[in-house]
């Protein structure tokens, strides 16, 4: 139930940061220019993790919906 950011620029991947996604059983992760959206199937939440210089910040709840499996990133509620 975490989101990890890896640096893959070298020969071996290096863990940059691992954040609590605040959701249980992430089903769909959508990376946008300034954030990452995560749908949590078992927690009925969609959260946003802001990206700063490619590193995920702390998760913020955006929506409570029943068992989200996929995110439609153009939905008005997702900003």
Q: 51-69: per-residue pLDDT in tens?
A: 998 889 999 999 998 988 8
d(CA 77, CA 59): 16
pLDDT at residue 27 greater than cutoff 90: no
Closest CA to 69 of 48, 50, 47, 42: 42
pLDDT of residue 20: 93
What Å distances lie between residue 69 and 1, 10, 12, CA to CA? 15, 33, 31
pLDDT of residue 78: 74
Mean pLDDT of the chain: 90
pLDDT at residue 72 greater than cutoff 90: no
pLDDT at residue 25 greater than cutoff 80: yes
Q: Is the dihedral of CA 50, 56, 61, 64 positive or negative?
A: positive
């Amino acid at each position: 139930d975490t989101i990890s950011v890896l640096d893959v620029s070298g020969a071996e991947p290096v863990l940059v940061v691992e954040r609590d996604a605040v959701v249980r059983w992430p089903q769909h992760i959508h990376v946008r220019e300034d954030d990452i959206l995560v749908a949590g199937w078992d927690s009925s939440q969609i959260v946003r993790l802001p990206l700063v210089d490619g590193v995920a910040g702390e998760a913020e709840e955006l929506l409570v919906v029943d068992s989200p499996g996929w995110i439609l990133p153009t939905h008005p509620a997702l900003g």
